[in-house]
Structures are given as C-alpha cells and as structure tokens.
Copies of this chain bind each other. A is one copy, B any other.
C-alpha cells in the first residue's frame, strides 16, 4: 500500500518535471500536479492537550426549539447519498454508524450562515494510526472540512488533527476524549460573499468549540480544504452539510444528536 503510494509519487513527480519545464499554458490547477499531500501538512507545534470538562461527557445535548434537527437518533430522512438516493448508514441505538461501503451522506437542505451541533464517537477498541484511525469529517457547505479523527491516543499533522480546519488551521488545543466516549462539536459558520470576478469579497469564517473548548476562533478560510494542493475559491453562497465516509480501514465512527440553527 505505502509502497505503491511512493511509486505513485515518483511517477507524478517525473511527470511534473516533464510538464513543468514546458508548462507555460495558462491552466490553473495542472500547475499543482506535482504537489504531494505532505507538502501541506504542518507537524510542529502539536496542539497542547487539554482535558475537557465533565458536564457534556456522554451527555446528550438536545436541540433548542428553533433548530432544524438533522438527526435525532431515529432515521436519516434529512440526508441522502452523493447520488441523491437514500443515505445508507446504519441507524441503531439512537446513533448512526458510518457504512464505508455506502459513501458520504449529505443533508437534503442547504444553509448559508449557521450554528451546527454534532456529537461523534469512535469505537473503544479502534485500530489504525495517523489519518487511518477513526477518520471522518464534517464539510460545511460541502466544501470546508472540520476534521474528525481519533487524536486522543496519537498524534498526526497539526492541521489534520481533530478540530482542525483541514490543512488550513490547526486547533488551538487538543481537547479530544478517549475512544468510546462522545465528542461534541459546536460550530459557527459565516458564508462567504464574492466579487463579480469570483474572488472572496468576504471569506468564510469558522468558530469551533470542541467539547466546550474553543479550538477555532473566528478563522477566515483561504478556500476549500484540499487533501492535495492549495485552497480553491468556489463561488457558492449556500450549501449542505456532508459527513465523510473515509476510506481508511479502521472501525467506523458513529454520530448522534445533530442539529443546525440558521442565523
């Protein structure tokens, strides 16, 4: 697996070199073909570990009366898969567990500015390491990922840790709870506005509280959150929420109690 990956990098670099010398065409993203995932990883410093308070530990925080309840433990009627068909994840015991064979799930509704609450938990006996251990994510507007990952027992690149804006902004601290416990995200999102030329007039901003601890403080995003390459500006004023079905081989994570308030 890893070997094949390195092989791929080698091939792509050779291609990049071949292309790079002559590449003077005005195409935008091909210029980044030689970029490798690790070029946008930041490892140092690691977010300081913080033990969150006890109150919301394993407590189910029910929705305010003006919220749209996206998942109340019973069904996925507010969600669909990427083809617009029924969301196929497993609902059981008041939670929904990722089915990696079914892909991402996406809200049917679209939102502009919002306050979003969700809770997630990885299995107590989860295996895997790095980005291959309890990896998922919540994509705001389907474009901007707040990372979900098991980072209580291990480290990864800071801007890929739980609570990061993926590859853009490391969490201020790491207040992860241990596998088997529930983690809580409270997210405040302001949608971008755009110039007539398709650039940001005002960028999207994100605030995240992670188990009650501030980890993203009104951060202005540079663009989409990319695995490889640089953030892009996508002209889109509203969008759905997407929960990621990540391809890593670790045991799947579960979600519960998801609600959103339009601002």
Q: Which residues of B contact A227 (CB under 8 A)?
A: none
Q: Which residues of B contact A27 (CB under 8 A)?
A: 43-44
* Any B CB within 8 A of the CB of A62: yes
* Any B CB within 8 A of the CB of A102: no
CA distance A186 to B19 in the complex (A): 39
Q: Which of B5, B10, B16, B220 touches A6 (beta carbons < 8 Å)?
A: B5
* Any B CB within 8 A of the CB of A235: no
Known A-B contacts A42-B28, A172-B263; the reply to A55 vs B60 at CB < 8 A is yes
Within A205-233, the residues touching B (CB, 8 Å) are 205, 207, 209, 211-214, 217-218, 220, 222, 229-230
Distance (Å) between the CB of A151 and the closest chain B CB? 15
Q: Are A195 and B39 touching (Cβ within 8 A)? A: no
Q: Are B44 and A26 touching (Cβ within 8 A)? A: yes
Residue interface mask A102-145, B partner, CB < 8 A = 1? 00000000000101010000000000000000000000000000
The segment from A29-37, A82-90, A91-99, A238-246 found at the interface with B is A29-37
* Any B CB within 8 A of the CB of A81: no
CA distance A3 to B5 in the complex (A): 10
Q: Which residues of B contact A32 (CB under 8 A)?
A: 39
* Any B CB within 8 A of the CB of A201: yes
* Any B CB within 8 A of the CB of A68: no
* Any B CB within 8 A of the CB of A17: yes
CA distance A116 to B190 in the complex (A): 22
Q: Which residues of B contact A38 (CB under 8 A)?
A: 20, 23, 31
Q: Which residues of B contact A45 (CB under 8 A)?
A: 197
* Any B CB within 8 A of the CB of A153: no
Q: Are B217 and A188 touching (Cβ within 8 A)? A: yes
CA distance A9 to B94 in the complex (A): 49
Known A-B contacts A19-B20, A35-B39; the reply to A61 vs B212 at CB < 8 A is yes
Sample of 12 A–B contacts (CB below 8 Å): A5-B6, A6-B8, A8-B13, A15-B17, A16-B34, A32-B39, A39-B230, A50-B64, A51-B65, A188-B217, A190-B218, A222-B222
